[in-house]
Structure 1
């Protein structure tokens, strides 16, 4: 099934209760998170992309909570309010084990996993390699085959500017150059979720520089992810921003070949940072899918 959605700006949703929580990761690392809605609802764990924080999912988590789901967001190791890895371990395996640890501490069985970018990587491996049994899987702008030039540009961006930015305008300009299709995210209130103001008055990204320096073997990673995609059994949805420079239409189609039962939603006027650009607009694709496959299970 292929569905096309149109991206449009909407006001944030309000009215869903949220509680800040802290969990312990696989290496004893502290993982900061937020739980939304009724704990008795179907659990939905949302995993953010590289360089983002759990706040990228806030609007989506509210919408899910209002629909009766129990939405859980957390900052990945080395991101946001979570601990930096003391041994600089930012491997795929470490991310998957952190997810396992959170699910165990929440005592949830067969959660829905929703992952964007890096979070999609973690979710796909967790399900495809049987680390975690999921009720459903949603991948947002992530597939085994991604575009190397775009990935290189994003990695270079994350490794630069270690000295920080004197003003937010400098940060916004740098972001626009690295993510041309993420213009909607290039506003102060959105970017403030991914930066911190340091004692010297400069703004620095809210992630561990060691994470950005972690080596990536793209070819090897893609082979592993393709194998995982072939092993996915639960209902699956791929959501792609039509202007994404990281996941091409060909990359999306390749994923559908690996995982023939998967559904595909194409969101017009959205780029790679779709999960933080306008959660409400693309959230309708996720919500419609989950209401069909996971609600009231």
Structure 2
């Protein structure tokens, strides 16, 4: 018999791709959305802490990543995938999105039906107030500037929409950011707080942009500490 802490495979069939994922644990659900260039396994150490605390975690490879099919070319395609993931989960799931995952989650929340099923949004080292030239420099610094150029440019074109959606959100929001090599500046955080004043901000010491890799335990603890009251 497969116990609640043993990963269980998941698939979602979309019109153009099949998304491959897994779930682990039992209890209130976190839907974990990885960054561009990553895959679902990056959430493993974070999930261990969340599952031990009595939660259930679901993580899919985004299209064009890991075991999922297709190519991630537009933010709307990634957002539509997340919409499908949300509708496959029980009510009151919390979206946890790192970088691309966070931006696609914001885009998915344009749909009232998605907002109605979600208890809150955790942004992991990403904000909707993207400054194009700085984004491109950052991606070049981590050798990702040429890997997803079409997707990056599409995301940058969607910044006005991302800002609008964030400003209209009536869901609780948590921003977790690194303090060492983060992609965010104090001004980025201030802009988010002006858009969504109800946002909680938690820095993670010793973490860069990929907090799930650098400080997974601290990330999980920050998520638990803030989101417990959301459901």
Q: TM-score range by the shorter chain?
A: 0.7 to 0.9
Structure 1 length-normalised TM: 0.69
2: CA distance between counterparts of 1:242 and 1:155?
18
The answer to whether residue 187 in structure 2 is matched with residue 250 in structure 1 is yes
**Helix, strand or coil at the partner of 1:21:** strand
- After the TM superposition, which residues 1-297 of structure 1 pair with which residues of structure 2 at under 5 Å, given as runs? 17-38=5-26, 41-85=27-71, 90-106=73-89, 108-130=90-112, 132-133=114-115, 134-156=118-140, 157-158=143-144, 211-214=148-151, 216-217=153-154, 220-294=157-231
- Aligned alpha-carbon RMSD (Å): 2.3
**Helix, strand or coil at the partner of 2:122:** strand
2: CA distance between counterparts of 1:283 and 1:100?
23
Question: What residue in structure 2 maps to residue 9 of structure 1?
Answer: none
Residue by residue, what CA displacement relative to the aligned partner does 1:45-69 show, whole Å, maximum 9, x if unpaired?
0100010111111111121112221
The CA deviation at 1:143 is: 0.3
1: CA distance between counterparts of 2:151 and 2:229?
39
2: CA distance between counterparts of 1:226 and 1:244?
24
2: CA distance between counterparts of 1:93 and 1:256?
25
Which structure has the higher relative contact order (CA within 8 Å, separation 6+)?
A: 1
**Helix, strand or coil at the partner of 2:44:** helix
Listed as ranges, the gaps of 5+ residues in structure 1 are 1-14, 161-208
Deviating beyond 6 angstroms after TM superposition, the runs of 4 or more aligned structure 1 residues are none
2: CA distance between counterparts of 1:141 and 1:44?
17
C-alpha distance 24-218 of structure 1, shift in aligned 2 (>3 A)? closer
**Helix, strand or coil at the partner of 1:214:** helix
After the TM superposition, which of the residue ranges 95-104 and 252-261 deviates more from structure 2? 95-104
8 Å Cα contact 1:128/1:231 also seen in 2: no
**How many residue pairs align between the two structures?**
225
C-alpha distance 80-72 of structure 1, shift in aligned 2 (>3 A)? same
2: CA distance between counterparts of 1:217 and 1:95?
11
2: CA distance between counterparts of 1:115 and 1:215?
16
**Helix, strand or coil at the partner of 1:243:** coil
C-alpha distance 265-141 of structure 1, shift in aligned 2 (>3 A)? same
1: CA distance between counterparts of 2:119 and 2:51?
17
Please identify the structure whose Cα radius of gyration is greater: 1
